[in-house]
A and B are shown apart, each in its own frame.
Chain A
Amino acid sequence: MADEVVLVDTWVSMFGMRVRIALAEKGIKYEYKEEDLCNKSKLLLKINPIYKKIPVLIHNGKPVCESLIIVQYIDEVWNDRSPLMPSDPYPRACARFWADFVDKRVYDVAKKVWTTKGEEQEAAKKEFIEAFQILERQLGDHPYFGGERFGFVDLSLIPFYSWFYAYETFGNFSIEAECPKIIAWAKRCLQKDSVASTLPDEKKVYECVVQMRKRFGVE
């Protein structure tokens, strides 16, 4: 029986990109539905009534929500190829820890970098760099957070790279100057087809953020 896989998403979302990378890693064919977050569809409200957010994966009619939960679901269902998680419990726990770190310590502070000004923005930039410095130390000399292979943590973090140009422009700082290893790691990840074909052009992301700032009334 052929699997029916649908992804409800928006092109600029780093959470959506995580799922798209996972699907590409596994070679899964799916239907992509672009969502306009300013005008949410009936479908989205039906499949994610709790949060009304993307991404949502619909597998044979059943919705799965929350990007890291979706990625683990994909890994568990299509478990015959390209594992995204380590196989041993301890490295798996570490992978979950660091992906959770990205959600807790990177996302919110990164958002403040492009939505705030003055002192609040300076504080956000400082926290942003600190978070990436912690990640750099964790990466160490390994090519990927997963060790020798691209894995769960790499997939959780790499989408943010497509937003770096926007953060740097609005925040007036250089991420490479502070965290060169992170940039080197990101360029390494971009050599993978699943990542290169998923991450949008950083200038397009920047243009989108310009529009979002107007809507948020940041200007």
Chain B
Amino acid sequence: MAKNDVKVLGAWPSTFVMRPRIALNIKSVNYEFLEETFGSKSELLLQSNPVHKKIPVLIHGDKPICESMIIVEYIDEVWTSGPSILPSDPYDRAIQRFWAAYVDEKWFAAMRGLRIAQGEERKAFLDQVTEGLALLEEAFGKCSKGKAFFGGDRIGLLDIAFGSLLGWLRVTEKVGKVKLLDEAKTPGLVKWAESFCADAAVKSIMPETEKLIEFSKLLMAQMKGAPPPKN
């Protein structure tokens, strides 16, 4: 598949953009990464995602695919010669999808709240984040069955959904001076995070914590002026 047949529209700091990139790396698919300029939306983005106007967008030939986890499933279904991202058993697939949706709908919102909020409100978000991590630790035990990843021996759907958040999790730990992944409380997730970040499909695209911290200052400044860029 020629490189310019597969494009990813996105931005390097974005959790959601990491997901299709990891999936394409797992499948050894070459792609062109088209970076959006911070603070504006390109014509190509507005044309290929007119409904939500958000990144990431995968453009395969002339077909745009939107929404990060939908893109990941698409990648898994198209490039069948590479390692599978979803398990083959329908029940296992349902469990992976359930937790991926939980990460996006519940846990991500709590993480974002934790980064921004102050005082009592911040404490409430911290409790939600910590409770969520306890649930995910338990889910990891059940899904991994003693192996390195939620997907077993290899990175799977839920690893991608949750692992893509590790960059910003580290930012929150450093800037917020709080320990979220903890050897005592979430030992499974601590080891998993190391394995995930070290994986060949992830290493080259996981943003460095310091760079994300610098970027988050830009984001905060923009938030004070205009509505924050959505992912």
Contact = CB atoms under 8 A, between A and B. Distances in A.
Interface stretch (A94-102, A116-124, A153-161, A181-189): A94-102
Contacts of A66: 97-98, 101
B135 A50 contact: yes
Contact of A73 (B70, B71, B90): B90
Given A62-B91, A69-B97, A90 B63 contact: yes
B108 interface: no
Interface string B125-138: 00000000001000
A77 B91 CA distance: 9
B70 A100 contact: yes
Contacts of A70: 94
A64 interface: yes
A208 B50 CA distance: 37
Interface in B37-70: 51, 60, 63, 65-67, 70
| Consensus secondary structure, chain A interface | helix
Interface in B54-100: 60, 63, 65-67, 70-71, 73-74, 77-78, 90-91, 93-94, 97-98
A134 interface: yes
A100 B74 CA distance: 15
B33 interface: no
Nearest to B139: A50
A201 interface: no
Contact of B77 (A65, A73, A89, A100): A89
Interface string A94-134: 00110011000000000000000000000000000000001
Interface of A: 50, 59, 62, 64-66, 69-70, 72-73, 76-77, 89-90, 92-93, 96-97, 100-101, 134
